[in-house]
Amino acid sequence: MNFFDHQDRARRQTRRMIVLFAIAVVAIVVAIDGVLYVAMGVGNGRHAQDAGAAMAGISVVVLLVIGLGSLYRVASLRGGGAVVARQLGGVQIETDTANFAYRRLRNVVEEMSIAAGVPVPEIFVLEEESGINAFASGYAPTDAAITVTRGAIDKLTREELQGVIGHEFSHVLNGDMRLNIRLMGIVFGILVIATIGRKLAELSGRSRGRDSGGMVLFGLAVFAVGYIGVVFGRVIKASVSRQREFLADASAVQFTRQTDGIAGALKKIGGLAEGSKLASSDTEEVAHMLFGDGVGYSALFATHPPLIERIQRMVPSFRAEEFDAIASAWSRPVRVGPEESERADVSIGGFAPMGLRSFGIAADVAMLPRADAQLRLSPTGVVSQVGHPGLDDRSAAAQINESIPQALREAAWQSGQAMPLIFALLLNDDLAVRELQLAVLDERYDSGTRALVQALATELRGLHPMLRLPLASLSFPALRRRPRPHLTVFMETLRALIDADRRVTLDEYCLAKLVGLQVMDSLRPAATQPMSSLKLPGLVAELKDLLAVVARYGHDDAAGAQRAYALGLREVLPDSAIDYSPPFDFVGALDRALPRLDHLAPAGKELVVRALTIAISADGVVSVAESELLRTVCAALHCPLPPMLQRAA
């Protein structure tokens, strides 16, 4: 199942969830109306007439309470995934942390982000939780947060942690996080009804009025109905969650291209006494978001499939007796020194089981192509990479991460240097143009900013072009923490720097567009997944302009560009015959087309990505700059591509 199938499945699950919860809400309204009818007296004509009016009113009130309660809970989470992490007591891992285990955790997450082609999420640790667990939260990749427990840090090796983080990145990429927030909101709305019933019974019980006894009974009945509704809501939530966990496990295996990591993490959950349980009182609300069962529900309410079943899907020969060996080995873990911290059996927190020997895992490192390389892409391979990075992508991400100079990585991590770093990436090599750009910085910022930009520009000399966009992505966690007014000025400055010489190059457009997408999506995370209401035949003008721009910039001669355009158009609109006419203003054309194309259904986006790959590689070769354009366009369509695109055999 590829990215687009996952997206389509997530949308179907959302519709199914809405229908099931709608049925549950209607049942609650009917039940409360029945309680009210009985309370007001059955069989008495006048009371029955009064009950009918009261039932109509109470039905409206119940619907409003559930709706407003759900909206309130969802609105309280609009600040992004970090809100959920902090509510559970998460400690944010700063980009410049000196803690060895935190730096190793951040390194794993950064590599996964680069491999997946998405912004680096914020990272949190639940320091008080000794169980092995993790979760991803947020609305979209641009506001995502990855949270792991102290137990995961102390007990999981790097390989196992990669499996867990790969599982969580599957939820990030496949639209599961938004569904999780909706599940939290709707169940909370139903819970409000039970809470109101309990409060009504408590207050009426303290009253000495003549009707207080009846109100107590009515309150208790409303509480019972509301709580039964919550129970059914949790059953629905659990049934949706279980299937998505199997899919996320499979995605993690594809991501890391081996089963030992995620299977090893699951085995430790089953073998160690702490398991995956969380001590927080808020665990139930987020139970469906966790890597492992954090509550310990029975089968009906279980948000995760049985642990042994999850393991045996990846390791069919596994037997439950192996849990005992794991428990024995980790009964008295020992802390190792820095010289042994990279051993394959040592946790990222620096602990190792007693008596186990070290074994090495050879890393298959993918080399970056030359800056002037001409690549040969596989349209089918590129489409399969969208939202589904594999081992090659992870190896390439590790190579990219290691290839970025440490000084630039640290600049990307720091709040005071992230913006100047992006400005430095846009400085022109032409000295006259560069002076115009520096004058723009003088108008909007102080002299210290100008000096820092110039210093960073010196550090950027000779940087491989494929490292520019990953470096910009590393700066995203620092950027997103800046106040909105600062980000507004930042975006205006980016546009001014690009327009300084009154022309826009392809690499300038890609960098500014990618940064702009990430920043704007982080400012409005709840709106980053538009309704998929448009079809390909209704977007002919947008497809024409997009394919024409890609064909034009992918080919040196007009005849080759026209042929590439026709091949791409045939893939996405086989029955259309539209002349090739590249827009004069490619920036304006793309800025108009991409937001509209982002409203396509997943199947339509899959065809668009395939058509773009065919058009850009019609002459048999693709430059590094052209591949970055393809990645940028895919990012605008919320179809993240890894940095190393699948090449043709």
The CA-atom distances, in angstroms, between 87 and each of 9, 106, 408 are 29, 21, 33
In the three-class reduction of DSSP (H, G, I as helix; E, B as strand; rest coil), residue 125 is classed as strand
What does the pLDDT read at residue 646? 61
- What is d(CA 194, CA 221) in angstroms, rounded to the nearest whole number? 9
CATH topology for 82-169+261-352 is Zincin-like (3.30.2010)
Higher pLDDT, residue 192 or 241: 192
Q: Which of 122, 160, 168, 628 is catalytic?
A: 168
Q: Is residue 150 scored above 50 in pLDDT?
A: yes
Looking at residue 356, what is its pLDDT?
A: 47
Sequence length of the chain is 649
Q: What is the mean pLDDT of residues 324-345?
A: 75
Kindly report which listed range (95-99, 237-241, 262-266, 554-558) carries the lowest average pLDDT score.
237-241
Residue 43 in this model has a pLDDT that exceeds 50: no
3-class state of residue 374 by DSSP: strand
305-314, 341-350, 427-436: which is most confident: 427-436
Dist CA 636 CA 397 (whole Å): 21
CA distance 522 to 137: 13
Average pLDDT, the chain: 79
pLDDT band at 361 (very low <50, low <70, confident <90, very high): very low
CB distance 562 to 628 below 8 Å: no
Burial state string for 257-274 with b = 16 or more CB within 10 A and e = fewer than 16: bbbbbbbbbbbbbbbbeb
Give dist(CA 487, CA 419) in Å, integer: 9
Q: Is the dihedral of CA 475, 481, 487, 493 positive or negative?
A: negative
At 362 the pLDDT is 39
- What is the per-residue pLDDT for 365? 42
579, with CB counted inside 10 A (0-12, 13-18, 19+), is exposed
Task: Give the model confidence (pLDDT) of 452-500 as tens digits.
Answer: 999 999 999 888 888 888 888 888 888 877 888 888 898 889 889 988 8
What is the predicted pLDDT for the residue at 363? 41
Query: What pLDDT score was predicted for residue 147?
Result: 94
Q: Which of 474, 379, 352, 387 is closest to 425 using CA atoms?
A: 474
Among residues 490, 504, 542, the alpha carbon closest in space to that of 629 is found at 504
CB contact at 8 A, 526 and 645: no
pLDDT of residue 282: 74
* Residue pointed to by tokens 């840090």: 153
Given a cut of 90, whether residue 343 has pLDDT beyond it is no
CB–CB of 134/290 below 8 Å? Answer: yes
Q: What is the pLDDT of residues 594-616, one digit of tens each?
A: 888 988 887 888 888 888 888 88
Residue 606 among the catalytic residues? no
pLDDT at residue 330, as a whole number: 83
* H or E element, residue 124: strand 122-126
377 closest CA partner among 597, 545, 564, 116: 564
Among the listed ranges 204-213, 342-351, 427-436, 517-526, which one has the minimum average pLDDT value?
204-213
Q: Is the pLDDT of residue 358 over 50?
A: no
Name residues whose C-beta falls within 8 Å of residue 562's C-beta, 6 or more positions apart in sequence: 551, 580
φ, ψ of residue 231 in degrees (nearest 5): -60, -45
Boundaries of CATH 3.30.2010.10 in the chain? Answer: 82-169+261-352
Task: Count H helices and E strands in the chain, helices first.
Answer: 26, 8
Across the range 609-637, mean pLDDT stands at 82
The predicted pLDDT at position 456 comes to 93
Per-residue pLDDT tens digits for 108-147: 898 888 887 888 889 999 998 999 999 988 887 888 899 9
12 vs 502, which has greater pLDDT? 502
Is residue 148 helix, strand or coil?
strand
**Greater confidence, 454 or 209?**
454
Name which residue leads in pLDDT, 201 or 294: 294
In the chain, % of residues over pLDDT 90: 10
Burial class (CB in 10 A: 0-12, 13-18, 19+), 569: buried
Over range 227-232, report the average pLDDT: 78
pLDDT, tens digit, 9 for 90 and up, residues 371-414: 666 666 666 777 776 766 665 666 777 778 778 888 898 888 88
246-279: pLDDT as tens digits: 667 776 666 565 677 888 899 999 988 888 888 8
* pLDDT band, very low/low/confident/very high, at 7 (cuts 50, 70, 90): low
DSSP 592-625: HHHHHHTTB-HHHHHHHHHHHHHHHTTTS-EEHH
